[in-house]
Homo-oligomer: A and B are copies of this chain.
Amino acid sequence: MNQEPATPCPSPVTDYLDGIHKEYSGLSEGRVATYIPELAKANPNWFGICLATAGGAVYEVGDSRQPFTIQSISKPFVYGLALEDLGRPAVLEKVGVEPTGDAFNSISLDPGTGRPRNPMINAGAIATAGLIQGKSPVIRLKRVLESMGLYAGRELGLDEGVYRSESETGHRNRAIGHMLRNFDILTEDPIPVVEQYFQQCSISVTCRDLGVMAATLANGGLNPVTGRQAIRGEYVESVLSVMGSCGMYDYAGEWIYKIGMPAKSGVAGGVIAVLPGQLGIGVFSPPLDSRGNSVRGIAVCNELSRHLDLHLFNNPSLPKAALRLKSTGAELNSSRVRTPRESQALREFGAEIIIYQLQGNLTFATCEPVIRDVMESVGSLGYLVLDFKRALSINESACRMLYQLLWRITQLGKSVLFVHAEHLALLRRVMKAKLGAQYNELYRVFDDDDLAFEWCENRLLHSVLPGWDAESSASHRDYDLFDGLTADEIAQVVPLLKRRIYQRQETIIRVGEEAAELYFVARGNVSVILTLSSGVSKRLATFSAGMAFGEMAVIDRAPRSAMIVADSDVECDLLSLEDFERLSEAHPRIKIKLLENLGLGLTRKLRKANRQLSVFE
């Protein structure tokens, strides 16, 4: 049997499970099942525990790789396959979902229709087995094995010895099969269906398998270890519902009350328990109590539930769960470098731009506080930026609420921007369906938060600064670095400048180049672009006419650390490092002024960076 590669140091979680395992090894009550002779051969000391998380971590201790037969734990998984085959209404017609308060082998058919009360009692499980689609018994068994293999993350097979033993002694279940045929719940010869039921019960699994199978249910049907879907997500809630209300037979109410997780046990000594969204537990220990549940299995589930606070109804509340960060354009700006006049306007009016960074799984409950917060700020809002970069998933109801929010906000004449939403295909689909012809106009998406901020800022500057234009040109006396120089002094520097023309998207500076010039933007905009190790490009800054760039590498003599690209057709004036150096001797006053202005620009950038840092902290 393959072992996982050993971790360099055991996890505190494994430590904890080891402690539980040691503690309950001493619990020697219960008796190994004997009604199927083959099961009586089990070693009563076998004892494994596996805890697998919805994030794909698997912790296992004890005899977690010892094979045994799944028995009744197969019932919820086969029920799920029946739901996928026929859909909920057709399955509900044949098998109910009401708990009976009766024991596992009670027949519990509805007196009128013969419909078994639920799929967790044998009668209901046999009726469910009869719903599995496939032309022949061989194909049906194959489909059941494949389905369970997806949950376990490995190929599963039958324990033929146990199967023969089940089949030889399964008279009561054959009787149930015939009763179901009598009521037309089974519509064909019941004997092959009952055999198929014996086979599904004889599938050989390990405790580790059970943990991963349970975690797959906890993870919406997606096996978190293999990343493969074992059952369509929409049916998981139904499988867990019948486990929750009927999984532990006449112990179901007390189980939910005390342990609080949908669960299922099998007479070979297996138990699974599922905490939706969080984790799955598998326990294996053959000795059973009088109800047919593994004694240690129940004890360990109880201990884990109590110690790890796993009770379904003991959830901490979720206020602000989706809201990672709220900020405004007065604090958080795009990386476009602004003139003092622009910066002043953004500080004054930037609060109209409100930015929400959303995170985690977006549902009605996690999004509602964000929507409420938006509506409370709606008076002062002009531009709403919703950044989904850290949203892990979104469900239909969250999409619908965001649509309603978008609609209301745009009706008020304000703009809504959706940023980094490309991984949320459902959001796009819902918006398309709801907005129809207005989709392109109203569903405004940006794949970069920085560009979204700049879009809002530019709109805002247009509206508050008369004559402001996003693209402009500057004459020499408008150059920031020349502030405070006399016309004569400027005239002494200008001959040192070399004019260069770049086309839109042309690269002006490459990473790694030696810093040999200081650049002045005479016309157009240029951007500093960093290529991250992930290959993603990130804009660090954008400069417009009148600004200088490339000064940091000139000052600290480091090679160029980022690429600089022309955003538009651009004209630049270049001052070579040598000429800049030589000014110290030839025109020290000019040099001093230039250095002072460089210091001023750096100071402004540093103040802006510090302001942004304080938002994040």
Interface residues of A (CB under 8 A from B): 7-9, 11-13, 15-16, 53-57, 96-101, 117-118, 218-220, 224, 236-238, 240-242, 244-246, 250, 252-254, 256-257, 260, 262, 275-279, 307-321, 324, 360-361, 363-365, 368-369, 371-372, 375-376, 378-379, 392-393, 395-397, 400-401, 404-405, 407-408, 412, 449, 538, 540, 552, 555-556, 584, 588-589, 591-592, 595-596, 598-600, 602-607, 609-610, 612-614, 616-617
Contact = CB atoms under 8 A, between A and B. Distances in A.
Contact of A101 (B98, B378, B405): B98
A317 B57 CA distance: 13
A610 to B, nearest CB: 6
A279 to B, nearest CB: 6
B599 A555 contact: yes
Contacts of A244: 244, 256, 313
A12 to B, nearest CB: 4
A117 B556 CA distance: 80
B101 A275 contact: no
Contacts of A252: 98-99, 245
Contact of A613 (B218, B318, B612): B612
B278 A15 contact: no
Kindly report how many copies of this chain are found in the complex they form together: 2
Contact of A591 (B16, B365, B592): B592
Contact of A276 (B16, B253, B315, B324): B315
Contact of A602 (B100, B220, B602): B602
A216 B615 CA distance: 33
B365 A275 contact: yes
Given A224-B319, A278-B364, A319-B392, 17 more contacts: A13-B401, A15-B404, A15-B408, A16-B400, A55-B318, A98-B101, A99-B253, A236-B314, A237-B260, A240-B313, A244-B256, A244-B313, A276-B313, A278-B363, A279-B364, A309-B397, A588-B591
A430 to B, nearest CB: 12
Nearest to A587: B588
Given A309-B364, A556-B603, A371 B11 contact: yes
